[in-house]
Chains A and B, each alone.
Chain A
Amino acid sequence: MVDVQYRFRSDEPVADPAVTVDSFGEQTNAAAVRIEPGDDARDLLPFLDRLQLVEVNFPVFGDGRGYSAARILREAGYQGELRAVGDVLVDQIAYMRRCGFDAFAPDVPLEPADAEAAWNRYGDVYQPTVDGRSAIWAKRHG
C-alpha cells in the first residue's frame, strides 16, 4: 500500500481496503472501492451514499480515463475522498485536482517544492469543472 502524500480533507481517512468495482456491488458493507481505467464509474452511482473512499488508479500517466471517472463521480454528487494512485506525476496533479481528486498517493513521492509550484501555477482557468473555481468567462462577465 502506497502512502497518501497529499490529502486535502479534514475528515478521518477510511481504513477499509478498497475493493474492485465488480465486487463492490455485492459487498453491501464496503465503503472503499478502487477504479481501474477500464471500469465504468457510473456503476458506482447507485451506491454513493455508502462510499467514503474511491481510489482511481493510473497505471501509466498517459491513460487519462481516470480524469473522466473522477468528474463523473463528483458531478453525481459524490462527497467522499477521491484518491489518485499509481503513476501520478507532478505535472498532472493540478489537472487532477480540477477533476475532483482531493488525495494523492503517487508511486514515486513528489518533490514538495515542485508540487507546491504546480498547485499554484495558474491563477485562473478557462473551464468550470467540479473544483469550485470560477471560469475566466465568469469573471469577465461577473
Chain B
Amino acid sequence: MYKYDQYDQAMVDARVEEFRDQVRRRLEGHLSEEAFRPLRLMNGLYLQLHAYMLRVAIPYGTLSGAQMRMLGHIADKYDRGYGHFTTRQNIQYNWIKLEEAPDILADLASVEMHAIQTSGNCIRNTTSDQYAGAAADELVDPRPYAELIRQWSTFHPEFSFLPRKFKMAVIASDTDRAAMRLHDIGIQIVRNAAGDLGAAFYVGGGMGRTPMIAPCINSFVPLDQFITYAEACLRVYNRHGRRDNKYKARIKILVHELGKDEYTRQVEAEFAHLLTQNIEPPTAELERIKAQFVDPPFETGLSDEIDRSDPDFALWVDNNTVAHKAPGYAVAVISLKPVGAIPGDASGDQIRVMADLAERYSFDELRVTHAQNIVLPHVRKADLYALWQVLDANGLATANLDQIGDIIACPGLDYCTLANARSIPIAQKISERMAAREQEIGELKLKISGCINACGHHHAGHIGILGVDRKGIENYQLLLGGSEGADCSLGTITGPGFDESGIVDAVERVTNRYLSERQQGERFLDTYRRIGMAPFKEAIYG
C-alpha cells in the first residue's frame, strides 16, 4: 500500500488548517453561506436535507486496517454510528455538524486520509479495480498509476474550476470491474506487440441524464507520457467544454458534439505542445510508487482445499470469493447488502470488525468496491472458515455477491437534495421480495437511482430503476440490459413507469420471465441479449 512521505503528509495537514480557518470564518459570520459553499464543496462537505454530509476520499478504494478503524471511529464519534460506502469507492457520513468537520479532517489526516476534491467541479477521487494486486487476470497492478494521478490531480491549479466534475478510473485487466468506460477518462494499462506497457485512453463516458460509453481515443500512450496526455485531455475540455448549461457540461458532451476524431485531433495537438513543457513525473517517481505496491509475502505450498462441510459457509465461498493469483489464497468479498438493509451502510462496530479481520487475515488491506461492498483481497483459503464465522456473527456474511439482493442504490430522497424519489426503500423491498429465490436466479446486477443524475448507475444495471417525479408523485422507470463491464451497454426503458409497489412487482415479473426463458448456463443479461425486450414487456405489461 502507498505510504505518505513528508510531502504528502504536509499537504493534507495544510488542508486541515485551511478548512479549519474557513469554517471559523463561516461560524463567526465573516463568510456568507453563499461564499462558503464553494469552499466546503472543495472539502467534500455537502448541505443535505437534514444535516451536513461529509464525503471522505478512499483513493482507488484501498485501505489499511488502521484507516478502516478510523472510519469506524468517525462514524461513532461524529455521526450516528454509521458510514455509507459509495459507488465511487468512498465513504459518506450523513449526520455531520459543521463545527466538527475540521476535527474529522484532522482525524483523517492522522491516518493519511482526506476529503480533498470529493466534490466540486474538479478531478475527483480516482477509482480502480477492487481486486487490483490480487486478481488472477490482471496485467499489472493498476494502483500505482492511479496514485500518480491522485498526486497530479491534487490541487491542480489549472483544473480546479472545470465546466463540471471529472471522474477517472484506471484498470489493468480485460475484465472491467471498475465501469471504466463510463468515466470522463478511463485508462486501461495494456501491453503492445513490442512488449511495452502503455495506457489506453477512453474519454467521454458517463452516466447522468445523457449516458455515453467512452470511445478509445488513443490505444497506446507510453507510460512515461501518460500524465502529459491526461493534461492535454483536460486542457481541451477546460477550454472548450460547455459552460452555458450544467446538464451539457460534462466532457462526454464535448466529445460527442466535436466528434471523437476532432476531439482527439485537438488533444494530440495539445499533447505535442505539452511534451515540450516537461510536466511528466520521471520514471523514478512511478518506480518509487510501484515499490509500495509490491505483493505481500504470500506463503507458498498452501493447499487449495476448503472444508465445505458447513453448507452456509460453502454457499458463501461459492458466491463471495474470487480467484486469487497466488495458490492457496482467495479474494473474499463482504456484502454490505443483508436482506432488507440499506445498501452500502455499515455500523461503526462492523467497520471495526472488518478492520480487525483485514489485519488478521488479509495482510492489513481492504478495498471498497463500486458496488458498495468491502473486499479482503488476500485471504488464505485455510482461514476462510474462521473469517466467515466472525463475519456471520456480525451480520456481514450475506452470500449474495452480484445477485439480485446485491443492489447498488444512491441515497435518494431520504438524504439527497437533488433526488426526485426514494431509492433506499425500493432497494429494501426488492431485496426482501427476492431473497428466497436469489440463489436460483444467479448473477443479476440491479441498480437504483433516485434521480436522473444516475449516482446509482441505473443505466448500467442488468435491471435498472430510475426514480422520477411525476406531478409530485414518486414514479419509477424500469430499464433492462445495461452492463458496466467489458461488454459495456446501456439499459433500455421498458415502458411506462410504476409506483412503489408496482416497481417491485415488475422486477419480480421480469425475473420470472427470465427463469422460464433461460437456457443452460445463461445469466439474466445473456437471456435478455438473446431474446430481447419483447418477452419481458409482455410479462410486465401483459
Contact = CB atoms under 8 A, between A and B. Distances in A.
Interface in B156-189: 156-163
Contact of A95 (B121, B152, B160, B163): B160
Contacts of A69: 239
A137 B279 CA distance: 10
Contacts, number: 95
A106 to B, nearest CB: 13
B131 to A, nearest CB: 28
A37 B162 CA distance: 12
Contact of A64 (B21, B238, B277): B238
Contacts of A140: 5, 7, 285, 288
B284 interface: yes
Contacts of B18: 121
Contacts of B235: 68
A141 B280 CA distance: 13
B300 interface: no
Nearest to A91: B39
B38 A139 contact: no
Given A63-B161, A137-B281, A126 B155 contact: yes
A37 B277 CA distance: 24
Contact of B38 (A91, A125, A136, A141): A91
Nearest to A117: B21
B154 interface: yes
Contacts of B284: 141
B61 to A, nearest CB: 21
B308 interface: no
A129 B38 contact: no
A64 B17 CA distance: 25
Contact of A67 (B11, B161, B163): B161
A127 B282 contact: no
Contact of A62 (B11, B161, B282): B161
Given A75-B277, A117-B21, A137-B285, A127 B7 contact: no
A137 to B, nearest CB: 4
Interface residues of A, number: 36
Interface in A13-53: 37, 40
B529 interface: no
A136 to B, nearest CB: 4
B10 interface: yes
A137 B38 CA distance: 29
Given A63-B161, A68-B158, A75-B277, A136 B7 contact: yes
Contacts of B162: 64
Interface string B231-264: 0000100110001000000000000000000000
Contacts of A95: 155, 157-158, 160
B14 interface: yes
B273 interface: yes
B278 A128 contact: yes
A142 to B, nearest CB: 11
A122 B157 CA distance: 12
Interface string A66-107: 011101000100000000000001011011101100000000
B158 A67 contact: yes
B297 to A, nearest CB: 26
A67 to B, nearest CB: 5
A92 B169 CA distance: 27
Contact of A98 (B14, B17, B157, B281): B157
Contacts of B159: 64, 67
A56 to B, nearest CB: 13
A61 B281 contact: no
A139 B239 contact: no
A40 B163 CA distance: 17
The residue among A64, A99, A136 with the most chain B CB atoms within 10 A of its own CB is A64
Contact of A136 (B14, B151, B156): B151
Nearest to A122: B14
25 contacts: A61-B38, A61-B161, A63-B161, A65-B238, A65-B239, A67-B159, A67-B238, A68-B238, A91-B38, A91-B39, A92-B161, A96-B157, A98-B157, A121-B14, A121-B18, A125-B155, A126-B11, A126-B156, A128-B278, A128-B279, A137-B281, A137-B282, A139-B7, A140-B285, A141-B285
Given A67-B160, A124-B10, 18 more contacts: A61-B38, A62-B38, A63-B243, A68-B235, A68-B239, A69-B239, A91-B38, A95-B160, A96-B157, A99-B157, A122-B11, A122-B14, A123-B14, A124-B11, A136-B151, A137-B281, A137-B285, A140-B7
Interface of B: 5, 7, 10-11, 14, 17-18, 21-22, 35, 38-39, 42, 121, 151-152, 154-163, 235, 238-239, 243, 273, 277-279, 281-282, 284-285, 288
